[in-house]
Amino acid sequence: MTDLLEHPLGARPGKPGDRGAFSFETITRLPDAASGLGRDGARYGRTGIIHTPHGDIRTPAFVPVGTQAAMKGVLPETMRELGAQCLLANAFHLFERPGESVLDAGGGLSKFMNWDGPTFTDSGGFQVLSLGAGFKKTLAMDVTGKKSDDIIAAGKERLAWVDEDGVTFKSPLNGDEHRFSAEISMGIQHRIGADIMFAFDELTTLMNTRGYQEESVERTFRWARRCVAEHERLTAERVGKPYQALYGVVQGANYEDLRRRAASQIASLDFDGVGIGGAIEKRIIGNTCAWICDAMPENRPRHVLGIAAVDDIFACVENGGDTFDCVAPARCARNGAIYTHRGRYNIKRAENKLNFEPLEAGCGCYTCTHYSRAYVAHLLRAREINGFTLATIHNEYFFVHLLDDIRASIDGGYFEQFRDESLAHFYGE
């Protein structure tokens, strides 16, 4: 084990974690402009550094999702080699298995999975939606369809029920009934031990009614206050552990007044950062980030939850997003969808059977420098694990380095040119 894994910053025997081990500093800020979506033409896009007990994250940055403390088919060492700075795991799934007490006994998430860098955990709030309404993980959405608070995805049944105190749900693994609340989520995430964790929130869909969205925003705020109080209690109680940063989550769907209200509420609490969450209509995703950043202190990092569409990433970066996570690159890879700077294609199509070129010409990832389209296509058709591995390495490399290149363009003063050229190439001029 490295010293970084054994001795994270801010962990002192017999003492609470040192909050000073977590901080954010801005390096370069995009200049305000007439086209800026923030207050008085503000553009909140920036580069910076998130300092955590397990190392720094240079932002903007993409955060690959290792749901169960693992990238499917890819070792942590490989994720580091392809350029990933940090990883995100899912508190709900780790609660289900192996159990948060196992990670706690194993020295926390980073040490448990042998990842020598910062980690995130989401709060389990997404399961309120996925188990309740049964929809797939989607952030940028449209508003087609009937508004209903009882809507359920086709072929699904409701497995989660929300009340004022929290959520009762049935395990998708074995049907056992469990309970999540602000305090329970904080306890689970503290024992998992990620550097950055999120307050327990209620995620709604764009198909919920305005009335329910209002109720949900207020409920999420009440849960947020409880999360802050429990986080402070557990930080003081769990001595000898590194400090874990807590981000509040802003909900409000596609309503500007609700997003601004929720942002002001979260900004009023003693959070270390903010998560921009919930379903957001794609056409206003940049506006939504700007509305939220209008209310946020500059020294709090901003994480956009669950997005990996290239145009959405550019819109969110320009309007204040610092870090981004999504399962899509790995999930798409396992199904044969390959991301390139000229768009996305299906590697399993017939024309790739005898194509011995790399997945993308000029790509520097391990897969492209060692293997051909024909080989990866063969592995995926045969459902060989190596195919999942090689395709995932390429897709994760694409998004990690896309954010690296965006960061360089902001520091270098050519963001607009890079944005326009990148989007023209990806979406076919």
107 is in an annotated binding site: no
422 is in an annotated binding site: no
Told to judge if 325 belongs to the known catalytic residues of this protein, a careful annotator would answer: yes
Answer whether 315's CB lies under 8 Å from 306's CB. Answer: no
Nearest to 192 by CA among 98, 262, 125: 98
Give yes or no for a cis peptide into 98 (omega within 30° of 0): yes
108 is in an annotated binding site: no
Catalytic residue (choose from 116, 294, 325, 405): 325
122 is in an annotated binding site: yes
365 is in an annotated binding site: yes
Using the structure block, give the residue that is written with the tokens 């429990």.
230
14 is in an annotated binding site: no
264 is in an annotated binding site: no
126 is in an annotated binding site: yes
Distance CA 216, CA 226 (A): 15
336 is in an annotated binding site: no
Told to judge if 312 belongs to the known catalytic residues of this protein, a careful annotator would answer: no
Residue type, 35: S
Distance CA 149, CA 203 (A): 12
Catalytic residue (choose from 122, 195, 272, 312): 122
123 is in an annotated binding site: yes
Residue type, 244: Q
Instruction: Give the residue numbers of the binding site.
Output: 122-126, 201, 251, 278, 363, 365, 368, 394
Instruction: Give the residue numbers of the binding site for Zn(2+).
Output: 363, 365, 368, 394
Instruction: Give the residue numbers of the binding site for substrate.
Output: 122-126, 201, 251, 278
Mind telling me the catalytic residues?
122, 325
